A and B are shown apart, each in its own frame.
Chain A
Amino acid sequence: MNTDPFHLNLLSEAEKMSSSPIRLRIMMPILALLAVAGIAIWWGTLTTQLLMTRAKCSSVREELAAKKSDHDAIVGSMNLANEEAAQLQQLEMYRAGCVRWGETFAAMAESLPVKMQLVRLEMPEPPPQVLHDPKNPKKPPLLGPTNDTEQVSLVITGRAARDTTVVAFMESLDGAAFTNRLGRAAVRSVQQESQPAKRGEQRLLAFELECSAIGRRFAK
C-alpha cells in the first residue's frame, strides 16, 4: 500500500523531533565534553606517572651514585680475592708439580759401582713457558703453568775406571729401584781423560749420561 500520494504533510523535515529521550543535539556536546575530560584525565594520569617515574629514576640514580664507591670497593676486593685465590691455585699447582729426588738419589748412591765417581747431577732447564697471551700482550702474564705436565730429564756426569762400570751403572738405573722414577739412560758422551790425576794412576773415562725422569704434573 503506497501511502505517499495521500500524505500532504505540512511539517518540514527540520521541524521533526525525536521521541527518544536521548537527544543527540544535547548528548553529543556532553559526550564530546566527557571524551575531552576523559582524555584530559588520562593525559594527566600519564603525566603524573611520568613525573613520578622520573623522580624515582633520579632518586635511584642518586642512590646508585652514592653506592658506587662502596660497590667499586666491594668489586675491587672481590677481584683481589679472586686474584689471590687464582695465585694460590697456581702455587698449589706448582706444589703438586714438585718432584722429590731424595729417594732416587739415595737409590742411585746404593747402586753406584765401586770404581765410579759422579761429578755432577744436572736437570736441564725446561723451555720457558709462554705466560703472555700472544693476542693480548698488554694482559698481565699468567701466574701458573700453561701445560699440565712438564718433561724433566737428568744428566749424570761422572768418571769411571772402565767402560763396563759405566754400562753396569746404566743397567742398575733400569732396576726396580728406579721404576717410575727414571727412564732408560742414554750415553751422551764418553771420553778418556787426557792425563791421570796422579802419576801411575790409571786413566779414567769421563762419561755423561742422560735419562728421562718422571715429568712434573701440575694437576691439583
Chain B
Amino acid sequence: MKLQLTKTKTIELSFGKGKGGGKRAKSADIVGVELFSGDARGVPAVRLSRKKSVWHLQAADFVKGPPGELPERWEDVSHRSTWELPAPFQAPHAAIAANSRFSLFSQSTADTILQDMARGIPAGDAAAAADAGKKRLSLRRNEQAPAPAPAEGGAAPKSLPTPGIPTATNGMRFTVKPTAEEGRSLEAALPEFQVLWLSRLLPEGHRPTTSSIQPTEAALMASVLAQPFFAEVGGTALVMFMLPNRVIFSGYKGGLPVLWRHCPVGGGHVAMKNAVKRGLGLDDEMVKSVLEDTLIDPRGALEPFLGPIFGELELSRAYLTGKHGMNIDKVFMMGLPVGAAHVCAFARDSFKIEMSQPGVFDGLQLPAKGEVAADWAYLPALGAALAASGVTE
C-alpha cells in the first residue's frame, strides 16, 4: 500500500511477505469450468489444488450448467441467476472459460488491438437498451457499464490498456498481455454485459466465487502449463490443439506465449472423423473403432484432410525457427480424442515431424479414490484453472 505523505514523499507499506515478496499467497485450491461449450454431458469442471508445488486433481466431472444461456444482448440479461456447483467442486475460487460468439482472442499488434477496441461490439447485437440489463444486474452507480458502440464505430482509444488490467471500451471488455515477441500482445475480449453476467453467476458467500473470466481460447493456451513435456523442453514448444471444429497452433518460448494461430484450412477432429467416414464408407461407430485400432490403416482417408493442416503446421514451425530461432524437434498435439496414433504416424512418415499426444491429466496427481475419466473435453477447464492459479486470494 502506498501512502503519499507530501507531494514529494511517499511511503510504501507491505503487509506480510510470502514467496511473492509482499504479494499475498497464491490460491492453492481452484475449480475451472468451461461454460457453454455445447457438450451434451454438461459443463466440464475440474478442481485443482497445489500442495508442495505439485498440482493435485481433486475432481473432474461434467456438472449441471447454470440456469439459462449466455446473454447475447443487454435485453437478454436475466435477473440475477445464481449457479451452485456440486460439493466436490466447491473450492474457494473459480476460473470460468466462456464460449461466446463475441469473444475475441488473438495475437495482435498494438494497431490491430486498438482497431478492435474502437470497433467494440456491434450496436445491433448489443442493443442500446442497456438500462434494463443494468437494473437486472443490480449494477451500482460506480459500476456503470459503458454503452454499446454505435453502428458506425465507437470512440477510438489512443493507447493500449495496461497489461493485465481489464478495460471496458465500446461495450467490450478487453485485456492484453505481452508475448515473447516484441510488439505483439495477446488480446482477449468479451462483451461487457456477458462479463458482468458471468461475474455474478456464482453468488458471494458461497464456494466458489469467480476469480477469473477468460475466453476459452485463452484457457486452452494455458492448458499445457502442467504438462511434463512442457517442463522437459524448458517451456519452448509448438503445440497443435486439435479441437472439435478447429485446429490451433500455439507456440511457447521459454515459458512465454509467442504464437497463437488458427489453422486456416481443414476443421477439427469432427471434420477428421467425417473425412474418414466418407473415405472408408463407415458409420460413426466403425470410424471410432478404426481410429482407435491400428489394425486398419485409415491413412488414405486421413491424408487429404491432414495434409493441408500439416502444411500450415510446417509454416508455423518455420516461423518460430526463422523468427525466434527456436529449434522445434517435436510437436505436441492436444485435444484429439481418437486416432492420435494414426495422426502421429502420418506426421512422422509424410512430413518427418516427430509428434506425440500426452494425456489430458498428465503432470497432475490424480485422486486416490475413484477414477477420473481422461477426456479432452476437460482441457479448457483445466487451462482456465491453471492460468488463474496465480490469482491472489
Contact at A8–B205, with CB atoms within 8 Å? no
- List residues of B (368-388) whose CB comes within 8 Å of A's CBs: 386-388
Contact at A5–B93, with CB atoms within 8 Å? no
Report Cα–Cα, A16/B204, bound state, in Å: 9
Known interface pairs A8-B175, A10-B166, A11-B166; A16-B209 also in contact (CB < 8 Å): yes
- For residue A130, give the distance in angstroms from its CB to the closest CB of chain B: 83
Chain A residues with CB below 8 A from B62, complex form: none
Report Cα–Cα, A21/B231, bound state, in Å: 38
Contact at A8–B215, with CB atoms within 8 Å? yes
Is B199 in the interface zone, CB < 8 Å from A? yes
Contact at B390–A16, with CB atoms within 8 Å? no
Q: Please name the residue on chain B nearest to A1 by beta carbon.
A: B225
Contact at B177–A19, with CB atoms within 8 Å? no
Chain A interface, >50% SS class: loop
Contact at A19–B256, with CB atoms within 8 Å? no
Is A9 in the interface zone, CB < 8 Å from B? yes
Is A15 in the interface zone, CB < 8 Å from B? yes
Interface size on A, residues (CB 8 A): 21
Q: Please name the residue on chain A nearest to B206 by beta carbon.
A: A19
Report Cα–Cα, A95/B205, bound state, in Å: 102
Q: Which of B67-75, B114-122, B182-190, B298-306 contacts A (4 or more CB under 8 A)?
A: B182-190
Known interface pairs A15-B199, A16-B211, A19-B209; A8-B225 also in contact (CB < 8 Å): no
- For residue A29, give the distance in angstroms from its CB to the closest CB of chain B: 16
Q: Please name the residue on chain B nearest to A15 by beta carbon.
A: B199
Contact at A6–B218, with CB atoms within 8 Å? yes
- List residues of B (197-226) whose CB comes within 8 Å of A's CBs: 199, 202-215, 218, 221-222, 225-226
Report Cα–Cα, A6/B105, bound state, in Å: 12
Known interface pairs A14-B143, A15-B199; A7-B205 also in contact (CB < 8 Å): no
Contact at A19–B390, with CB atoms within 8 Å? no
Contact at B221–A6, with CB atoms within 8 Å? yes
- For residue A14, give the distance in angstroms from its CB to the closest CB of chain B: 7
Q: Please name the residue on chain B nearest to A7 by beta carbon.
A: B387
Chain A residues with CB below 8 A from B105, complex form: 8
Is A17 in the interface zone, CB < 8 Å from B? yes
- For residue B171, give the distance in angstroms from its CB to the closest CB of chain A: 13
Q: Mark B80-110, 1 if CB is under 8 A from A, else 0.
A: 0000000000001100000000000100000
Known interface pairs A2-B255, A3-B387; A8-B207 also in contact (CB < 8 Å): no
Chain B residues with CB below 8 A from A135, complex form: none
Contact at A17–B210, with CB atoms within 8 Å? yes
Q: Which of A3, A12, A20 contacts B225 (CB 8 A)?
A: A3
Contact at A7–B209, with CB atoms within 8 Å? no
Q: Please name the residue on chain A nearest to B212 by beta carbon.
A: A9
Report Cα–Cα, A12/B212, bound state, in Å: 9
Contact at A18–B195, with CB atoms within 8 Å? no
Contact at B195–A19, with CB atoms within 8 Å? no
Is A4 in the interface zone, CB < 8 Å from B? yes
Contact at A7–B204, with CB atoms within 8 Å? no
Contact at A18–B204, with CB atoms within 8 Å? yes
Is A199 in the interface zone, CB < 8 Å from B? no
Contact at B195–A11, with CB atoms within 8 Å? yes
Top 10 nearest A-B pairs by Cβ distance? A6-B222, A8-B188, A17-B204, A19-B209, A7-B387, A8-B218, A17-B209, A19-B207, A11-B213, A15-B199
In the assembled complex, 11 residue pairs joining A and B whose CB atoms fall closer than 8 Å, in A order, are A1-B226, A5-B256, A7-B387, A8-B176, A8-B218, A8-B387, A9-B388, A10-B166, A11-B166, A11-B199, A19-B209
Please give 20 more A-B residue pairs, beta carbons under 8 A apart, in addition to A8-B187, A17-B205. Answer: A1-B226, A3-B222, A5-B177, A6-B222, A7-B212, A7-B218, A7-B391, A8-B186, A8-B387, A9-B164, A9-B388, A10-B190, A11-B211, A12-B166, A16-B210, A17-B202, A18-B205, A19-B206, A19-B209, A21-B205
